């Protein structure tokens, strides 16, 4: 039997019943790996800030393991201090900031690997659907062979690579307009 999935609807402007998840994924610095911030701004067609948008991230730990039963591999151990999920509402400037670690490469198919990346999703008033994208890291050799990045038109790929800053990385999410962030189909 096949049943149809429920339709998505907008987040609305009044979401404030935050789960007890902080924007710090490292458990106050206890997680293995290189601690960084991952921050940016969510902007609209006029490059104006989008406030009260919900930004969610999901990522592997420093060893490239997801805290999930579908990922079990002794070569990539779990980290009890890192579950890989964070969410935060954007501020009046459209800004968001997570404290996390740089993820390790994660498997694709066969012997192929995916470059280190963070899955990112945005919900907002004014959006009927979730917008799903990925943040990659500059200078990673695997970026050149990443199967998901390769699906993005070459000219737009740089938009998915975060920019290094002192202590972390910047990943701006331009929902529409100039240098619009590429989003993946849902």
Partner 1 sequence: MVEYASYPEGTQPGVNSERYFRTSQLAPSQPFVEAPVTLSEITGPLFPREGVSQDEADLTAGGKALGQLMVLAGQVRDEDARPLPGVLVEAWQANASGKYRHPVDGRDAPLDPHFVGGGRAVTDSEGRYRFVTIKPGAYPVPNSGNWWRPPHIHLSIYGYAFLSRMITQVYFPGDPLNELDSIFMSVPDDAARERLVAVTDTSVGLHEHALGYGFDIVLRGRNQTPMEDEGLQA
**Which residue, among 25, 12, 39, has the nearest Cα to 168 in the 3D structure?**
39
DSSP code for 52: T
- Residue among 77 and 167 whose Cβ is closer to partner 1: 77
- Dihedral of CA atoms 136, 81, 106, 120 in degrees, nearest 10, equals -40
Residue with tokens 């998915």: 160
Give the one entry of Fe ion, partner 1, none that residue 115 binds, where binding means its C-beta sits below a cut-off of 5 to 8 angstroms depending on kind: none
> Among residue numbers 89 through 148, which ones bind partner 1 (CB under 8 A)?
106-108, 114, 117, 119, 121, 123-132, 134, 147-148
At its nearest, how many Å lie between partner 1 and the CB of residue 112? 10
Site membership for partner 1, residue 60 (CB under 8 A): yes
At its nearest, how many Å lie between partner 1 and the CB of residue 163? 20
At its nearest, how many Å lie between Fe ion and the CB of residue 9? 9
Q: Which stretch binds partner 1 (CB under 8 A): 33-41, 93-101, 161-169, 173-181?
A: 173-181
Give the one entry of partner 1, Fe ion, none that residue 36 binds, where binding means its C-beta sits below a cut-off of 5 to 8 angstroms depending on kind: none
Site membership for partner 1, residue 37 (CB under 8 A): no
Residue 59 burial (10 A CB sphere; 0-12, 13-18, 19+):
buried
C-alpha 128/C-alpha 134 separation (Å) is: 20
> Among residue numbers 38 through 57, which ones bind partner 1 (CB under 8 A)?
44-46, 50, 52, 56
Residue 55 near residue 120 (C-beta atoms within 8 A): yes
Residue from 8, 9, 11, 12 in contact with Fe ion (CB under 5 A): 12
Residue 62 near residue 32 (C-beta atoms within 8 A): yes
Site membership for partner 1, residue 58 (CB under 8 A): yes
Residue 37 near residue 169 (C-beta atoms within 8 A): yes
């Amino acid at each position: 039997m096949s049943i149809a999935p429920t339709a998505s609807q907008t987040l609305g402007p009044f979401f404030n019943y935050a789960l007890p998840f902080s924007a710090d994924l490292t458990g106050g610095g206890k997680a293995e790996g290189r601690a960084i911030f991952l921050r940016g701004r969510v902007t609209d067609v006029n490059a104006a800030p989008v406030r009260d948008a919900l930004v969610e991230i999901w990522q592997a730990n420093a060893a490239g393991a997801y805290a999930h039963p579908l990922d079990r591999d002794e070569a990539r151990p779990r980290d009890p201090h890192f579950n890989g999920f964070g969410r935060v509402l954007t501020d009046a400037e459209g800004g968001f900031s997570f404290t996390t670690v740089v993820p390790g490469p994660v498997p694709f198919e066969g012997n192929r690997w995916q470059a280190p990346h963070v899955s990112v999703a945005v919900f907002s008033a004014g959006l009927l659907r979730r917008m799903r994208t990925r943040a990659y890291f500059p200078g990673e050799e695997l970026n050149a062979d990443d199967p998901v990045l390769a699906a993005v038109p070459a000219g737009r790929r740089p938009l998915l690579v975060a920019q290094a800053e002192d202590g972390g990385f910047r990943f701006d999410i331009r929902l529409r307009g100039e240098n619009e962030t590429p989003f993946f189909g849902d």
